[in-house]
Amino acid sequence: MAALATIVNGFGGDCARVIPTVSTASADFAASCEGGGMGGAGGEGGMGGAGARAVPVARAVPVAGGAGGAGGAGGAGGAGGGEVPACGAGSDCNADADCPGATCRSMTGPGGVCTCVGPAPEPQRNFCDGGGGPGGGCCADADCADQGPGAVCQAEGYNALDGYCGGAAPPDWNACRVDGCAQDADCGNADFVCVPRGAYAHRYAVCARVACRTDADCGARAGGVCSPFFTRCRSDGFFCRYPDDPCTTDQDCQGNEPMSCVPNANGQGTQCVVDLPAP
């Protein structure tokens, strides 16, 4: 072990450089390199080597590194460090730096689908001058204060993505809307997650289906990617896309009637369907 420590010290405590050069590493040495660097063998008052950092991977964000290894006699311990995969290939961001004025968050857990979460867009409202229109309701968010923190005033009949999905004209009054969840547990089903307001342009938080959580869940065909699928009226959640899918966006669907690209019912791949009629 002392000989290995001498080698590590010679490389500035960089385990990633040392391991390939050593034919046989002891279990203690290997363990000391996991999460943080092995401290360099300290000389008299000498400084220990810096901890090794994991090789960066695609779609990764910085996280707290492992603890540094213990320093040799008189030397300081090696610095901890490392990066772990945090965002899948279907993500909109890797880190907060990708989200001006917002934060990058995983919607489906570690290694899952990340997106920028910031201030929610203003919902559509019908104009009114007190009373909220013929059906009562609200005229502004302030009129919804008694409904709970964060309640918003929105045109009646519209959903969290500000879509109206009926065939007839919508009502001409407004109603108060509140978050449908604060955490995944509020959704009451392991196949759903809580999508917060401000994510994917949601005006308030909703529960959304998860047919996949990471790219590893998309193995029906080659090249599967767990992706967000949020449209104003057709789908709401996370599903698997594949390179050979018939469509990626609505523009890929051609027909005599308006068409939409939606996920298959089993969550694997997509299909083109006739769109709902406009209001």
Query: What pLDDT was estimated at residue 14?
Result: 41
Query: What pLDDT was estimated at residue 79?
Result: 37
Instruction: Pick out the chain residues at pLDDT < 50.
Output: 1-84
Query: What pLDDT was estimated at residue 130?
Result: 64
Burial of 64 (0-12, 13-18, 19+ CB in 10 A): exposed
Query: What pLDDT was estimated at residue 9?
Result: 41
Query: What pLDDT was estimated at residue 74?
Result: 39
- DSSP 3-state of 206: strand
Instruction: Answer for the pair 214, 83: CB distance below 8 angstroms, yes or no.
Output: no
pTM of the model: 0.67
Task: Write down the residue that tokens 């772990």 correspond to.
Answer: 84
Query: What pLDDT was estimated at residue 86?
Result: 82
Query: What pLDDT was estimated at residue 276?
Result: 63
Query: What pLDDT was estimated at residue 267?
Result: 96
Distances, alpha carbon 106 to alpha carbons 93, 117, 193, 229, in Å: 9, 10, 11, 15
Cβ-based neighbour number of residue 187 at 10 Å? 19
